[in-house]
Chain A
Amino acid sequence: MGTPVIMPQLGESVVEGKIGKWLKKVGDEVKLYEPIFEVETDKVTTEVTASGEGTLLKLYFDEGDTVQAGALVAYIGQPGETPPEASSISVHDAHSAGEASKTQPAEVQPAPQRGRGPTRLSPVVARIAAEYNVDVSQIQGTGEGGRITKRDILAYIESRSQVDERGETRGAESRVGSEAELAPWEYPSTGELFKPSEETAPPAPTQPTPRAPDASRPTSPTTDVVPLSSMRRAIAEHMVRSVQTSPHATTVWEVDCSQISAHREANKAAFERDGAHLTFLPYFIVATVQALKRHPRVNSSWEERGIVLHRTINIGVAVSLPDGLIVPVIHNADALSLLGLAQAIHDLAERARSGRLRPNEVQGGTFTITNHGGFGSLFATPIIHQPQCAILGIGKIEKRPVVVDAGGTDALTIRPMAYLSLSFDHRVLDGADADHFMATLKWTLENWHAP
């Protein structure tokens, strides 16, 4: 096996070299490291030495030829040996042994460089060459090892069509690459149509707002007038309408709150861990929901066509505000757990007080609860929230002496007690209906189940 003489790569960015002068001719004896030819690049001129010994059997290029780095330029062997064809040895074969170990693992493996031989074209160059009938041998490649790049062939076609412009146009431009001419409708419009009117026309003259009478001005030296807020007016209108609409009747029951007090004490901490403050109100809502399920007529509205029973149970909870009250609604209260109710009450009350309720949160109630006991009231005669048919008032829970049954004998004991008042629309419910409802409510609260 002889020794190929390869055009070296003389520097990182140098891809080719010119054979300056052959220092040996075919048939000469060559010793190891003996200079064989001079090579000129744009950076250096140097001698290339033999990497093996023998007889110089073949020179593949003439002086003055430019040869890509890695190409086979001469062959040293034994007399009588047939030197290889130019294309049968690539730089990869010649250099692989020394280069491979230096490759970094994260490194890119470039495709093998090719010797001169048949021209290798990338798919895009081959396609463009076919489309534009280009003789690629006419193109000077600028890619690695003189490869013809896409840019090379496009530049060639461009220069060719410039030459042709004096004669005929080949129509190449519109098809090359992706730089095709766009049809006019492909350009985005400037959006001149449908601009906001303010941008296209002067603003319309505004009407002066009529001045409202100054309500705060005293009309008498001995009275002060509190101006009516819209909430005050709304409450007033509603209350008048409600008592005019529904014949109100009120029934009052007394409830022993021992069971729910015990449950609340036992579970307060756990609720706190879950981020909820547990008050008594959720217990009354759960019991109300149970009672409404048992007595659906209490969850209804009077209409001329009949009594409309509501399938959903949406509980309004009156929340007092500095200038009145608002009734946020817990929708589908029957789908909420005690924890869920505690959270819902807290959330709605909080947002009611900061005025951040959404419109749907004050609509759609089917039954209302007012917790007037929070201010110390024992019992009340609440006014129905139209168009519902009843409203439950919860009085203050306070310890009272009560008589209980202690194994057949009466005994006096102290229990947390509360009065519950139900005002109902007497058109819809009779006293007995209301009291059946209250009986269920009382039973649920006094027999609050484990845990």
Chain B
Amino acid sequence: MSEKTLVEGIREALDEELARDPNVFITGTDIGPRGGVFLATQGLYAKYGPRRIIDSPLAESSIIGVGIGAAMNGMRPVCEIQFADFIHPAYNQIVNEAARMFYRSGGQYCVPLVIRCPYGGGVGGGLYHSQSVEATFAHVPGLKVVIPSNPRDAKGLLKSAIRDNNPVLFLEPKKGYRAIKGEVPEGEYTEPLGVAKVTRAGDDITVYAYGMMHFYCVQAADQVAEEGISVELVDLRTLNPLDKATVLQSFKKTGKALIVYEDNRFVGFGAEIAALLCEEAFEHMDAPIMRLAGPDVPAVPYSRPLQDWFMPDVQRIVEAMRKLAAY
């Protein structure tokens, strides 16, 4: 075990999978000698060469489309979209093609494709380097959506994503690339897709989060613990397919739910959790389900006070936890 950053966890997963399976290759913009704009692929070009680490033309739709074709020809491509904000030109290839291929070919062709994609605000990225896109894509059957919240999961989940026979959108909290540190076991291990994790046991309220917001929720839960509020924290990790059992189990224990996400609040992932709890655990409900989310403006503004206004943070999470606990 040694302490590593989240982006180091990503890099280790890529390195190990490239070494393990000759069919794995990486493509995307600037992922070659440059090592990716966040250095997630740093050193891999030198180690694996131009046939495994392929700088792509600046063309998102075909980064995914080419990945789909390569996947159907037996490869395991890892395609990087530089920012979640730039994924939209590839929407058709991801949603209409990758996600539907297995179903529409009656199971003849599957698409073992990983789409790595940094998401999230709070980094001064303005409208087009801060977006969260998980709700848009979690809506799509046939596409797995995974978001790690810590280095250990980042490595273990990415390895599982690469080995999965389905398209996986792997969203990485870019603000946490270096801010989030943690223990990463040496060598081979994986974390399963489709399994949420109770990262903190508690009795009073359940807080659901993922990615960067989970990192904040840990800190907020520490704060309110001093006030005697016992928070159970569930890291969703995979949004689709959702681990309903873990989500419901925790709620049945506390009866109070807060969902924290930085994507726009309206029709966001919190709505799905809330609906699930209402439909399948109504009789355990002890308070109105609360959502703490990004506001419904088009995207995160650049100017610092405007960005701060947009982003959920530890203080706001603390206040929401208090309110819910007190209800």
Contact = CB atoms under 8 A, between A and B. Distances in A.
Direct A–B contact present (CB less than 8 angstroms): yes
B248 to A, nearest CB: 10
A124 interface: yes
Interface in A123-146: 123-125, 127, 143-144
B316 interface: yes
B31 to A, nearest CB: 16
B316 A144 contact: no
Interface string B284-327: 11111011111111000000000001111000100110011011
A274 B320 CA distance: 55
A147 interface: yes
Contact of A123 (B51, B282, B316): B282
B327 A110 contact: yes
A407 interface: no
Contact of B253 (A123, A143, A177, A273): A177
Contacts of A149: 286-287, 327
A99 to B, nearest CB: 14
B253 A106 contact: no
Contacts of B282: 123
A104 B293 CA distance: 11
Given A275-B49, A275-B50, A108 B283 contact: no
A275 B51 contact: yes
Nearest to B258: A108
A256 to B, nearest CB: 33
Contacts of B155: none
B316 A124 contact: no
A374 to B, nearest CB: 25
Which of the listed residues B255, B310, B311, B320 has the most CB atoms from chain A within 10 Å of its own CB? B255
Contact of A122 (B285, B293, B311): B285
Interface in B220-262: 249, 252-253, 255, 258
Contacts of B312: 106
A178 B249 contact: yes
A149 B287 CA distance: 8
A111 B290 CA distance: 9
Contacts of A111: 287-288, 327
Nearest to A276: B51
A105 B295 contact: yes
B208 to A, nearest CB: 14
Interface residues of A, number: 27
Given A106-B311, A123-B284, A273-B50, A178 B320 contact: no
A85 B326 CA distance: 28
Contacts of A165: none
A124 B255 contact: yes
Nearest to A123: B285
Nearest to B294: A106
Contacts of A106: 265, 292-295, 309-312, 316
A104 B255 contact: no
Query: Which applies to chain A's interface (DSSP): helix, strand, loop or mixed?
Result: loop
A150 interface: yes
Given A124-B283, A178-B253, A108 B290 contact: yes
Contacts of B255: 122, 124, 150
A124 B286 contact: yes
A107 interface: yes
A319 to B, nearest CB: 20
A215 B22 CA distance: 42
Contacts of A273: 50
A331 to B, nearest CB: 14
Which of the listed residues A15, A111, A149, A274 has the most CB atoms from chain B within 10 Å of its own CB? A149
Interface string A263-304: 000000000011110000000000000000000000000000
B282 to A, nearest CB: 5
Given A106-B311, A149-B286, A177-B253, A274 B51 contact: yes
A253 B140 CA distance: 64
Given A105-B295, A127-B283, A177-B253, A110 B288 contact: yes
A143 B326 contact: yes
B50 A144 contact: no
Nearest to B265: A106
B252 A178 contact: yes
A110 B286 contact: no
B327 to A, nearest CB: 5
A122 B310 CA distance: 32
Contacts of B50: 273-275
Contacts of A150: 255, 286
Nearest to A126: B283
Interface string A339-352: 00001000000000
Contacts of B297: 105
A22 to B, nearest CB: 30
Contact of A104 (B285, B316, B327): B316
B2 to A, nearest CB: 28
Nearest to A347: B22
Which of the listed residues A107, A273, A343 has the most CB atoms from chain B within 10 Å of its own CB? A107
Given A106-B310, A274-B51, 7 more contacts: A108-B324, A124-B285, A124-B286, A143-B287, A144-B326, A149-B286, A275-B50
16 contacts: A13-B326, A106-B293, A106-B310, A106-B316, A107-B316, A110-B290, A111-B287, A122-B255, A122-B286, A123-B283, A143-B326, A147-B327, A149-B286, A149-B327, A273-B50, A275-B51
Interface of B: 49-51, 204, 249, 252-253, 255, 258, 265, 282-288, 290-297, 309-312, 316, 319-320, 323-324, 326-327
